[in-house]
């Protein structure tokens, strides 16, 4: 990612680690972030796994649309704008589906049910921290 000024900026300075929180409340969305910030990792996303670990997020950016072709399990998808504002949430998305959100800068893939457990709502603002 070459453009600055987005909610994922703190993650650009480290090779691994990071957490995803809801601004203001501090509610944790993910305790571990897997980055998919280049074309190779964006194409892969959560493919090739048998499950998404709890408390883990795969963050695909920049991206406003994804597919779940060839995935082996359902996921929750959180679409966020550049400032981290959640613009769309899709829960329990099964394999072989497509999803998109106008205005999204990043897609966060979570274990199915994780968005609900974190209390995420459209309009919440995500914050990435190391």
Mean of all residue pLDDT scores within the chain = 91
pLDDT of residue 101 exceeding 90, the answer is yes
Beta-carbon contacts of residue 40 (< 8 Å; ≥ 6 apart): none
Amino acid 81: pLDDT: 98
CA distance 21 to 27: 6
pLDDT of residue 123: 97
Query: 9-129 in CATH: which number?
Result: 2.60.120.1140
Reported pTM: 0.91
Using CB atoms within 10 Å of the CB of residue 61, give its burial: 0 to 12 exposed, 13 to 18 middle, 19+ buried: buried
């Amino acid at each position: 990612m070459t453009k600055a000024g987005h909610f994922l900026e703190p993650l650009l300075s480290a090779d691994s680690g990071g957490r995803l929180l809801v601004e203001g409340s501090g509610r944790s969305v993910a305790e571990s972030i897997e980055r998919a910030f280049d074309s190779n990792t964006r194409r892969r996303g959560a493919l090739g796994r048998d499950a998404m670990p709890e408390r883990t997020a795969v963050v695909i950016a920049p991206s406003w649309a994804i597919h779940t072709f060839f995935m082996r399990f359902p996921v929750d998808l959180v679409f966020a704008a550049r400032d981290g504002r959640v613009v769309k949430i899709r829960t329990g998305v099964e394999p072989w589906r497509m999803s998109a959100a106008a205005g999204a800068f990043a897609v966060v893939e979570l274990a199915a049910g994780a968005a609900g457990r974190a209390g995420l709502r459209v309009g919440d603002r995500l914050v990435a921290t190391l």
